[in-house]
Amino acid sequence: MDFAAGETERRIGWLRLPAIGLAAATLALPGHDPPTTAFAVGVALALAYGAAALLWAYTQPVTARFSIVATVCDVAVITLLVGLSGGPFSEARWAFLLVPIAVAFRFEPALTAGAGAASVVAFLVQAISHESADDPGANRIVALHAGYLVWLTAAATILSFLLRRRTERVGELLSARQQLMAEALSAEERERRTLAEGLHNDAIQNLLAARHDLEEVAADTPHPSLERADSALQSTIVQLREAIFELHPQVFEESGLGPALEAIGEHAARRGRFHLHLDLSFDERHAHERLLLAAARELLANAAEHSAAANVTLSLRRDAYEVVLGVRDDGRGFDPRTLSGRLREGHIGLASQRGRIESIGGRLSVRSQPGQGTAVEIRLPA
């Protein structure tokens, strides 16, 4: 299952615990006998199961098998609590209604229908076999509640089907958007490479030839003006080489994302005169590594130009289902609420990166305060 499915199971896990508590609280209603030891043990087991399922959803990969097993356990736990608290007359029986609703969040119509059917069968079996099944009015209560369950199962199944169809459509649109973004990034990289190669093969080579001719003239006829011209040419060549690196760091093509991040980080550190700290623990290939590189380049350039920081930390790691890129500095900081104003003034760098990142299902967050530095974090699906 993907990251969204894991998030769904975690949300269901948090809903499960209060549902168990509400089912247990039904014995506190007027007219109910005090809870028995067996019921107390059942509640304790149910809470232990709910906590264990929630812990698993946070610490382990969530699979389709987990969803099925959790659904079966939910029905079993509710059946146990209802059977121990009055059978067909137990107010806890309303907890059966929660099963198809919770399963509908998984966007699996067949699983929703199956869970609802299992709830109906479980309710009927425990109600019919309970010692209070022969009490006056029990048959009407059982029939009415079973009808509620059947109706809700049908409604939840239809809802799950509609949600799944809508999710698939959104996924298709997102996939198309990601493809367009990948093509745009690829075109941008090609333009960067073409420009970098043109500057290197033409402009720098012409400057080097001019500098060589100038040195020959200066050797025969020394003059301060020639020395100044030679110094200006040398400075221009250095600036062009830095611009070429900014346009297209060759190390990315040769060694991959990690070394490229290190190279652009060191380059930004020289420009911004800050100390660079690297924490690059993610060394796998990633479908959007060019986007990560472009984002890191923009964030480091901002740190070098605006932060006046003494230390900047560049990090890249894997966090569960996500790849996380972070740039943190101890510079002057700013009020994040001013970002919209800077966008109106034409500072589109950060906004452009945010748009690209969100277009492929990622997130960009900015934390900063005046005088407290800035931390920018980018999260992309792994």
d(CA 12, CA 95): 14
Residue 252 corresponds to which amino acid? F
* Strand ranges (E), 309-372: 311-319, 322-329, 363-368
- Which pLDDT value is given to residue 339? 72
The domain 256-382: what is its CATH number? Answer: 3.30.565.10
Closest CA to 73 of 94, 99, 97: 99
Closest CA to 304 of 362, 246, 365, 364: 246
What is the location of CATH 3.30.565.10 in the chain?
A: 256-382
Q: How many other β-carbons are positioned within 10 Å of the β-carbon of residue 258? A: 18
Q: What is the dihedral of CA 315, 318, 321, 324, to 10 degrees?
A: 10
d(CA 381, CA 3): 8
Beta bridge pairs of residue 364: 378
Residue 23: partners with Cβ closer than 8 Å, 6 or more residues away = 43, 46, 78, 81, 82, 85, 92, 95
d(CA 357, CA 354): 5
Q: How many other β-carbons are positioned within 10 Å of the β-carbon of residue 132? A: 13
Residue 258: partners with Cβ closer than 8 Å, 6 or more residues away = 280, 282, 283, 316
- Which pLDDT value is given to residue 255? 66
Backbone Cα Rg of the chain: 32
Beta bridge pairs of residue 367: 375
- Which pLDDT value is given to residue 329? 94
The tokens for 265 are 């980080």
Residue 129: partners with Cβ closer than 8 Å, 6 or more residues away = none
Ramachandran bin of 370, using left for φ above 0, alpha for ψ from -120 to 50, beta for the remaining angles: beta
d(CA 264, CA 244): 12
The tokens for 376 are 């920018």
d(CA 335, CA 28): 52
Mean pLDDT (10-residue bins), the chain, 382 residues: 72 89 76 76 91 90 87 91 83 86 86 92 89 83 91 94 88 76 72 76 82 81 82 83 68 72 87 91 80 88 89 90 91 81 62 80 89 92 78
Three-state secondary structure call for residue 86: coil
Residue 210: partners with Cβ closer than 8 Å, 6 or more residues away = 233
CA 245 to each of CA 51, 242, 265, 352, 366: distance values in angstroms, whole numbers, following the listed order: 52, 5, 12, 21, 27
Q: Helical H runs in the chain?
A: 3-25, 37-59, 64-84, 98-104, 109-129, 138-198, 205-220, 224-247, 250-255, 257-272, 289-302, 339-344, 349-359
d(CA 291, CA 300): 14
d(CA 357, CA 364): 7
